[in-house]
Structure 1
Amino acid sequence: MKLDVNALGTFYRMAREGAGLAAGRLTHMTEVETQVGVTKLNFMRGREIRRDFEDANEKVAVRVKLTGAIEGYSMVVFERENALRVVETLLADSDSETDIDVDAGEFDEMTQSAVTEVGHIMNSGFIDGWADVLETVIDVSTPEFVEGVTAEPFFGEVDETPDEDDLALLFQSSIETVGTEIGFSHYLFPKRESMAALLDRLRTSGGIEYDKLDGFDRMAERGAEEVAKTATTLTGIDTSVEIRRLNFVSLEAIPEQVADETLVGVAFEFDGMPSGYLLFLFDEESAHEIVDAMVPMEVDEDGFGEMGTSAIKELGNIMASGFLDGWANVLDTTIDHSTPEFIHDMGAAAVDPVIIQLGENQEFAFVFDTVVMADGREFDCEVYAIPDENDLERALNNLDVDRIEETPTTAEFQELENS
């Protein structure tokens, strides 16, 4: 199976179109204004998908089986309280005198039926949007109501769910109701053979072999582990890599994923095969924790000053070397990165300069989205590695996947210039 950016771009537009139709139908049913959240094409391993469902929160889903142009399963997933709030909204103007208890332990026949109806209409909205973009027919089975606190009820009977270490293409969209706490996510688990046939139909260039992208994903995972080791060594704070996935998104959607709060971090441009951008972003509290750990004297609490800024840049510089040197070793090439540029800005503004630069030449991007967490301390680091799409295709076509596990990821650190 081969992937190319044009085909994936069509899939992305398909997902956005479906999300828009689903949002409109939810507005029509509930008379509550809705908005489409972030739409992603995720390349995720089975263990990461299951981890999303094993956060101790009870979830409710409506699942349908698809046949025709796309084969697989489509599933709308609510947090349990959100599902009941949707039902409350639906029944508020009806003749029913039933009071919905959001904290109730069980769904009764009426609430289960209402959630199933909502989920089915949402699934149909997504699927109709895909069918419109693909100009084809996709058939939908009778909806199935599913609930649970682990991944098993949702995926136990879904053959298309990947095994623990298998990489799968997963469509994920979210819709939120404006001014309320109601929201849900949508997942599509396409059958591999069905997706391969669609990709072949839509592909306009040579494309990337799927096993090469799988290999690059494993390579990025090793790079992220190197980042965590480096952060532990430099700060003395035990850190580990949490959830990491490879997203295919439109450039304009990347700022939507960034937390709407003041962020501190560093940005790099890297040059070689591939070229692109690398960002490390911390919330302010995490950044202060880093400075406290690295600077052996008190610094300005309200800002970062010269010493605080230098500490953040030094950490970012060494983490960037650990991340990119591993790529270069496996690809048997050279990747250089710029000196770190300090970032201290609100949410999307922290990534806008990078998006503007990339947007001159491309519409979409593969984004390696990593979270490095500190054990027991406030130190969460969002890592965004965004390679140039043309460089990435060339690099992956030359990738020997057997080298990935054999090649060391030893970093050669660059010295920071004193400012």
Structure 2
Amino acid sequence: MRLDVNALGTFYRMAREGAGLSAGRLTKMAGVDTRVGVTKLNFMRGSEIRRNFEDGVEKVGIRVDISGGLEGHAVVVFDRQSALEIVEMLVADDEVEAFDEMSRSAAKEVGQVINNGFIDGWADVLETVIDVSTPGFIEGTSAEPFLADVDETPDEGDLALLFESQIEAVGTEIAFSHYLFPERESMAQLLERLRENDGIEYDKLDGFDRMAEQGAEEVAKTATSLTGIETGVEIRRLNFVSLEAIPQEFVGGKLVGVAFEFDGTPSGYLLFMFDEESAREVVKAMVPTGTESPEEEGFDEMGKSAIMELGNIMASGFLDGWANVLDTTIDHSTPEFIHDIGAAAVDPVVVGLGQNQEFAFVFDTVITAAGRQFDCEVYAIPDEEDLERALNNLDVGRIEETPTTAEFDEIEGT
């Protein structure tokens, strides 16, 4: 199975179109304004997909089988309270506390409307016909009831392409996610039709993800060695998103980041973004005697240096690991510190990149240090042609065999 950026871009537009149609139909049906959140194509291991469903929150799902121009399964997943609130809107009941026959029927009806909206959007973009089965009602707190009988769900270590879209009902706390589990052979046929060039083998993208995981392990070891603080770095998934959608992920609140440009094979940009609270946790972990406090407006020089040093370590861990496996050289610039409100923190980078390309690969990453956990979004935005060339030359067998030891230069002033 081979893919290229054009094929992935078509899938992305397909998912966005479906989310828009679905939101519009939900507005008409339930009488509430809706808002479409960020849509992503997630390349996820089977273990991470299951962990998504196993966060201890009771969930309700409406699942359908799809066939024809695209085959697989589609499921709308609500937290249980959101599902009950939507049912209350439909049956005009003051309070629905459990799912009886009537409320299940109402939930399936709204789930079917949402699913059909997505699927009609996909069919429009793909210029094909997609058939939909009658909906099934699911509830539970684990992955098993939602993924049972879904043959396309990957094994623990396998990498799967998963479509994920979010829609919120404005003025309420109702939100849900929509997942598409495409059948592999059906997906392969679509990729073959949509590709504009030779593209890359799917297992090479799997290799790209494993390269990043190894780089993350090296980041953790180097950070532990540098700071004396036990540090862990985990990559949860690889996302494919539109550049214009990246600022939408940063709504409200100040963000702190470190940006790099890298040059070689591949070339591109790296951006590490923390929410402000997580950034302060980084400073506390790396500079226990620092003067930073949560009440301060900005970051003093010591705090900035700590953030930039961690960014430098992470960039070196990722890029040196990639270079070793690809048997090439990748250099990166000195870090640029970013501290701004919401989308303004990433707009300059996105505007600059948008002159040459439309999409980006994003690694969703968690860093743990000194018992603290905080989120860090890692935006790896390689030049599309460079990445394709590098991955086509990738010997997947080298990934496990090649050491990924990173070398980095200490930042001036740290």
Q: TM-score when scaled to structure 2?
A: 0.95
- Alpha carbons of 1:298 and 1:372: their partners in 2 closer, same or farther (altered >3 Å)? closer
> 1:77 & 1:296 partners in 2: Cα distance?
42
> 2:234 & 2:252 partners in 1: Cα distance?
21
- Structure 1 equivalent of residue 149 of structure 2: 157
> 1:366 & 1:284 partners in 2: Cα distance?
23
Point out where structure 1 has 5 or more consecutive residues left out of the alignment.
93-97
* Contact 2:216–2:235 under 8 Å retained in 1: no
Find 1:226's aligned residue among 218, 224, 234. 218
- Structure 2 equivalent of residue 66 of structure 1: 66
Question: Deviation of residue 349 (structure 1)?
Answer: 1.7
- Structure 1 equivalent of residue 52 of structure 2: 52
Question: Deviation of residue 281 (structure 1)?
Answer: 2.1
Question: Deviation of residue 185 (structure 1)?
Answer: 0.7
1:148 is aligned to 2:148: no
> 1:184 & 1:296 partners in 2: Cα distance?
40
- Structure 2 equivalent of residue 327 of structure 1: 322
> 1:330 & 1:383 partners in 2: Cα distance?
20
- Structure 1 equivalent of residue 348 of structure 2: 353
Question: Deviation of residue 176 (structure 1)?
Answer: 0.8
- Alpha carbons of 1:378 and 1:200: their partners in 2 closer, same or farther (altered >3 Å)? closer
Letter of the aligned partner of 1:384 in structure 2?
Y
Question: Deviation of residue 309 (structure 1)?
Answer: 1.4
- Structure 1 equivalent of residue 310 of structure 2: 315
Letter of the aligned partner of 1:199 in structure 2?
L
> 2:136 & 2:370 partners in 1: Cα distance?
40
* Contact 2:6–2:196 under 8 Å retained in 1: yes
Find 1:198's aligned residue among 184, 190, 196. 190
- Alpha carbons of 1:300 and 1:373: their partners in 2 closer, same or farther (altered >3 Å)? closer
1:42-121 correspondence runs (5 A): 42-92=42-92, 98-101=93-96, 104=97, 106-121=98-113
Runs of 4+ in 1 over 4 A off after TM superposition: none
1:129 is aligned to 2:124: no
Question: Deviation of residue 285 (structure 1)?
Answer: 2.8
User: C-alpha deviations, 1:209-238, integer Å up to 9, x for none?
Assistant: 101111111111111222233333334443
Question: Deviation of residue 29 (structure 1)?
Answer: 0.5
1:343 is aligned to 2:338: yes
- Structure 2 equivalent of residue 95 of structure 1: none
1:188 is aligned to 2:180: yes
* Contact 1:263–1:346 under 8 Å retained in 2: yes
- Structure 1 equivalent of residue 14 of structure 2: 14
> 1:349 & 1:73 partners in 2: Cα distance?
38
Letter of the aligned partner of 1:159 in structure 2?
D
- Alpha carbons of 1:296 and 1:178: their partners in 2 closer, same or farther (altered >3 Å)? closer
User: C-alpha deviations, 1:322-361, integer Å up to 9, x for none?
Assistant: 1110010000000100001011111222222221121011
- Alpha carbons of 1:230 and 1:258: their partners in 2 closer, same or farther (altered >3 Å)? farther
Q: Which SS does the other structure have where 1:180 is aligned?
A: coil
> 2:234 & 2:100 partners in 1: Cα distance?
37
* Contact 1:372–1:382 under 8 Å retained in 2: no
- Structure 1 equivalent of residue 238 of structure 2: 246
User: C-alpha deviations, 1:302-325, integer Å up to 9, x for none?
Assistant: 232222212221221122111110
Question: Deviation of residue 258 (structure 1)?
Answer: 3.1
* Contact 2:58–2:140 under 8 Å retained in 1: yes
Question: Deviation of residue 405 (structure 1)?
Answer: 0.4
Find 2:171's aligned residue among 159, 172, 179. 179
Find 2:261's aligned residue among 258, 269, 288. 269
Question: Deviation of residue 362 (structure 1)?
Answer: 0.7
* Contact 1:76–1:122 under 8 Å retained in 2: yes
Q: How many residue pairs are counted as aligned between the two chains?
A: 411
Find 1:403's aligned residue among 394, 398, 412. 398
Find 1:168's aligned residue among 160, 171, 179. 160
Point out where structure 2 has 5 or more consecutive residues left out of the alignment.
none
Letter of the aligned partner of 1:356 in structure 2?
V
Q: TM-score when scaled to structure 1?
A: 0.94
User: C-alpha deviations, 1:78-137, integer Å up to 9, x for none?
Assistant: 011110111111122xxxxx4424xx3x41111111111000111011001111111111
Question: Deviation of residue 18 (structure 1)?
Answer: 0.7
> 1:143 & 1:160 partners in 2: Cα distance?
18
Q: Which SS does the other structure have where 1:415 is aligned?
A: coil
Question: Deviation of residue 22 (structure 1)?
Answer: 0.4
Question: Deviation of residue 259 (structure 1)?
Answer: 5.5
Q: Which SS does the other structure have where 1:266 is aligned?
A: strand
* Contact 1:6–1:203 under 8 Å retained in 2: yes
* Contact 1:167–1:214 under 8 Å retained in 2: yes
